[in-house]
Amino acid sequence: MSIRFEDQGRARADIMRALQDFQAGDADWRGGKVPLYVFSGPEDVGEIGKAAFNLFFSENALGARRAFPSLLRMEQEVVGMGLDLFHAPAGAAGNMTSGGTESIVMAVKACRDWNRAHRGEPRFRGNLVLPETAHPAFDKAAALMDLEIRRVPARADYRADVPAMAAAMDAETMMLVGSAPCFPFGVIDPLAELSDLAVARGVWLHSDACVGGWMAPFAAEIGRDIPQFDLGLPGVRSLSADLHKFGFCPKPASVVFYRDAALQGFQEMKFDVWPSGPFGTQTLVGTRAGGAVAASWAVLRYLGRAGFREVAREVLTMRDAFIAGLTAIPGMQIRGTPELANIAFGCDDIDMGQVATLMGERGWIPGMVRRPASLHLMMSLHHEASREAFVRDVAECVATVRGHSGVARTDASYA
């Protein structure tokens, strides 16, 4: 792409008009046409998040300890609320990050360095054993640190197969992983069983609650059947939970937690190699958006437990309505028994890639799962307005594919 850097700047009105023109070509997420990427709670929650973000728009959380004690306090309070929510023992710790990938990378880094210290092997590179449904962020971490990933097939219900994971372990295994829930199917892995295995083998267990961490506890409080997944399990040494998903906070915001501060210490990056002296961070990135810290604090304080319970009730009631409508379509199955707002669904007698193509032609961005071939939704409150239209279009596209075999197909991809 060839572009000229103009000598003279443009007028503000021209800039805003251009931005609006650009935005007009984007997918209609507000109308529920997009199956992920954007997570919305009630409108007033979004408004207070934006206001708090803009109030701290220029502040840099890298300087929280030296220049911005407001950000330090707010981050500590956000972490403290999470530790309370996730049943952390005394002495637990955590910090905010830019997102789930960074939270996971930092947990893997802490685990590797803890192993190096405790094994007395400063160049130790172990392996991670995880279900095939775990997020590729673990593969990113492994690629960055030259670690081995061992993915194990899931059970028939799409949950982690604990005996199979145990069989995949060896003396070099440094981390087990379970998801709460996994992204593709929305099911929570048997983390209590994984905790028992981790304790028995003396191995670090990470609970990846990036998707569901800020909804699952409140779903349990309103009576939904939510398996235990958090730091209340003795084998869970770290847990990641994204605030910018079902915490309904502005991006970028996640938290990584450790069951004690000593474990968190292995996450830290410390260097003293240049003329400016010591440089240290608890995150991979240096500069962090102060607005994300302030917005997260504001949203958590604004909603409180009662507010989150109500949002969980609304989201899961909507999800149940989606499931009821989809399963009324002949041959349609929900893959597994999802606990939260992610669902995968498909008909085994037709090509779901063809269904996705037809849905795309109708203006939907088709979310997909490759194995088994399915469509996918990661629902938020803005999907309610389009629910009936979505289910109707799925039914019509399924009927079209059943009646004709010449439809092009769309392959699964979230890139």
Exposure string of 37-52, with b = 16+ CB inside 10 Å and e = fewer, is eebebeeebbeebeeb
What would the pLDDT profile of 42-54 be if each residue is shown by its tens digit? 999 999 999 999 9
Residues 6+ apart with CB under 8 A from 301: none
**Where exactly are the structural domains of the chain?**
15-42+306-402, 48-302
Homologous superfamily of domain range 15-42+306-402: Aspartate Aminotransferase, domain 1 (3.90.1150.10)
What would the pLDDT profile of 94-103 be if each residue is shown by its tens digit? 999 999 999 9
Cα–chain center distance at 397: 30
User: What percent of the chain is modeled with pLDDT above 70?
Assistant: 98
Q: Above 90 in pLDDT, residue 242?
A: yes
Q: Above 60 in pLDDT, residue 414?
A: no
Mean pLDDT across 58-66: 89
How far apart CA 70 and CA 313 sit, in angstroms, is: 33
Q: What is the pLDDT of residue 405?
A: 62
Q: How confident is the model at residue 1 (pLDDT cuts 50, 70, 90)?
A: confident
How far apart CA 7 and CA 2 sit, in angstroms, is: 16
Beta bridge partners of 96: 255
Q: Above 60 in pLDDT, residue 415?
A: no
**Cβ-defined contacts of 9-12 (< 8 Å, 24+):** none
- What architecture is domain 48-302? 3-Layer(aba) Sandwich (3.40)
Which tokens in the block code for residue 353?
């890639």
Sign of the alpha-carbon torsion through 301, 303, 306, 308: negative
What would the pLDDT profile of 284-326 be if each residue is shown by its tens digit? 998 899 999 999 999 999 999 999 999 999 999 999 999 999 9
Beta bridge partners of 130: 151
pTM: predicted TM-score of the whole model, two decimal places: 0.95
Which tokens in the block code for residue 234?
């003795």
Q: What is the pLDDT of residue 60?
A: 86
